[in-house]
Structure 1
Amino acid sequence: MTARTPVLRKRALGRSGLLLRILIAAGVVGVLGAWWFAAPSLLTLSPASTATSLGELSGMVGAFLVCAQVLLIARIPWFEHAVGMDRLVSWHRTLGSTVLFLIISHVLLMILGVQLLTSGTPWGATWLVFTSYPDMLTALIGTLLFFVVGISSARIPRGRISYEAWYWLHVTAYGAIFLTFFHELSAGVHFVNDPANRALWIILYFATASAILTWRFILPAAAAWRHHMMVHHVVNEGNGITSIWLAGPHLDELGVRAGQFMIFRFVTVGHMLTAHPFSLSRLPSAGLMRITVGALGDHSSRVPHLKPGTVVFAEGPFGHFTPETSHLHKVLLIAGGAGIGPIRALAESLVNEGRNVVMVYRSTSHDRLALEAELRAIHPLVLHTVVGSRAELGHDPLDPRGLKWLVKDISEREVYICGPEGMGLTVENSLSELRISKRLIHREILSMG
Structure 2
Amino acid sequence: MATVRSRPIPSSGIRPRVVARTGLYAGLAVNAAIVAYFFVQAGFASNALIVLGRLTGLYAALLMAFQLLLVARLPWLDRRIGMDRLSDWHRWTGFCLILLLLGHAVFIVSGYARPTGMDPVDQLVDLARTVEGVLRAVVALLLILVVGAVSVRFARRRLAYETWHFVHLYTYLAVVLAFTHQIAAGTSFASSGLATAYWYALWGSALGAVVAGRLLLPLWRNLRHRLVVLAVVPESDNVVSIHLTGRDLDRLPARAGQFFLWRFLTRDRWWQANPYSLSAAPDGRTLRLTVKSAGAGSAALRHVEPGTRVFAEGPYGAFTALHRTRPDAVLIAGGVGVTPIRALLEDIRGHIVVLYRVRSVQDAVLHEEMRELALARRAELHLIAGPADPDPLAPRALAELVPDIAERDVYVCGPPGMTGAVRGSLRELGVPRTQIHFERFSLAG
Structure 2-normalised TM-score? 0.90
**Contact 1:239–1:368 (Cα < 8 Å) also in 2:** no
Alignment partner of 1:15 is 2:42: no
Counterpart in the other structure of 2:385: 387
Distance 2:107 2:67 in 1: 23
Amino acid at match of 1:308: P
Counterpart in the other structure of 1:349: 347
Residues 59-94 of structure 1 deviation map (CA, whole Å, 9 limit, x = unaligned): 111111111111122122333355343332222222
Counterpart in the other structure of 2:126: 128
Deviation at 1:399, TM superposition (A): 1.2
**Contact 1:242–1:293 (Cα < 8 Å) also in 2:** yes
Deviation at 1:416, TM superposition (A): 0.8
Counterpart in the other structure of 1:369: 364
Deviation at 1:30, TM superposition (A): 1.1
Residues 146-176 of structure 1 deviation map (CA, whole Å, 9 limit, x = unaligned): 1111111111111111111112222221111
Alignment partner of 1:98 is 2:96: yes
Deviation at 1:298, TM superposition (A): 6.2
Amino acid at match of 2:42: A
SS state of the match for residue 115, structure 2?
helix
Counterpart in the other structure of 2:161: 163
Distance 1:211-1:274 versus aligned 2 partners, 3 A rule:
farther
Specify which of 206, 209, 212 is matched with residue 210 of structure 2: 212
SS state of the match for residue 280, structure 2?
strand
Specify which of 226, 229, 242 is matched with residue 228 of structure 1: 226
Counterpart in the other structure of 2:71: 73
RMSD: 2.3
Amino acid at match of 2:71: I
SS state of the match for residue 362, structure 1?
strand
**Contact 1:239–1:367 (Cα < 8 Å) also in 2:** no
Distance 1:266 1:112 in 2: 53
**Higher normalized helix content (fraction of residues):** 1
**Contact 1:326–1:414 (Cα < 8 Å) also in 2:** yes
Distance 1:438 1:160 in 2: 32
Distance 1:440-1:236 versus aligned 2 partners, 3 A rule:
same
Deviation at 1:334, TM superposition (A): 0.6
**Contact 2:144–2:174 (Cα < 8 Å) also in 1:** yes
Distance 1:305-1:145 versus aligned 2 partners, 3 A rule:
farther
Residues 351-388 of structure 1 deviation map (CA, whole Å, 9 limit, x = unaligned): xx3x2221111112333211111111111332222223
In structure 2, runs of 5+ residues without a counterpart are: 1-5
Distance 1:225 1:6 in 2: 40
Distance 1:19-1:445 versus aligned 2 partners, 3 A rule:
same
Alignment partner of 1:425 is 2:417: no
In structure 1, runs of 5+ residues without a counterpart are: none
Distance 1:386 1:279 in 2: 22
Specify which of 4, 7, 28 is matched with residue 2 of structure 1: 7
Distance 1:211-1:286 versus aligned 2 partners, 3 A rule:
closer
Identity across matched positions, percent = 36
Question: 1:31-430 alignment to 2 at 5 Å?
Answer: 31-40=35-44, 45=46, 49-238=47-236, 240-269=238-267, 271-285=269-283, 287-296=285-294, 299-350=297-348, 353=349, 355-378=350-373, 379=375, 380-390=378-388, 394-430=389-425
**Contact 1:163–1:297 (Cα < 8 Å) also in 2:** no
Deviation at 1:409, TM superposition (A): 4.0
Distance 1:55 1:240 in 2: 56
Amino acid at match of 1:356: H
Distance 1:296-1:28 versus aligned 2 partners, 3 A rule:
farther
Counterpart in the other structure of 2:3: none
**Contact 1:162–1:297 (Cα < 8 Å) also in 2:** no
Deviation at 1:429, TM superposition (A): 0.6
Counting matched residue pairs gives 436
Distance 1:165-1:270 versus aligned 2 partners, 3 A rule:
farther
Counterpart in the other structure of 2:28: 24
SS state of the match for residue 189, structure 1?
coil
Residues 134-157 of structure 1 deviation map (CA, whole Å, 9 limit, x = unaligned): 133333322221111111111111
Distance 1:345 1:82 in 2: 19
Distance 2:263 2:432 in 1: 38
Distance 1:375 1:4 in 2: 25
**Contact 2:9–2:324 (Cα < 8 Å) also in 1:** no
Distance 1:122-1:177 versus aligned 2 partners, 3 A rule:
same
Amino acid at match of 2:178: T
**Contact 2:82–2:319 (Cα < 8 Å) also in 1:** no
Distance 1:332-1:251 versus aligned 2 partners, 3 A rule:
same
Distance 1:31-1:262 versus aligned 2 partners, 3 A rule:
same
**Contact 1:114–1:125 (Cα < 8 Å) also in 2:** yes
Distance 1:407 1:102 in 2: 49
Distance 2:240 2:22 in 1: 39
**Range that drifts further, 54-63 or 188-197:** 188-197
**Contact 1:400–1:430 (Cα < 8 Å) also in 2:** yes
Alignment partner of 1:448 is 2:443: yes
Distance 1:102-1:274 versus aligned 2 partners, 3 A rule:
farther
Deviation at 1:418, TM superposition (A): 0.5
Deviation at 1:6, TM superposition (A): 6.4
Deviation at 1:301, TM superposition (A): 4.9
Deviation at 1:270, TM superposition (A): 5.1
Deviation at 1:299, TM superposition (A): 4.6
Deviation at 1:297, TM superposition (A): 5.8
Distance 2:298 2:95 in 1: 29
Distance 2:159 2:273 in 1: 16
Distance 1:309-1:385 versus aligned 2 partners, 3 A rule:
same
Distance 1:84-1:7 versus aligned 2 partners, 3 A rule:
farther
**Contact 1:360–1:386 (Cα < 8 Å) also in 2:** yes
Distance 1:297 1:194 in 2: 56
**Contact 1:231–1:309 (Cα < 8 Å) also in 2:** yes
Deviation at 1:447, TM superposition (A): 1.2
Distance 1:114-1:175 versus aligned 2 partners, 3 A rule:
same
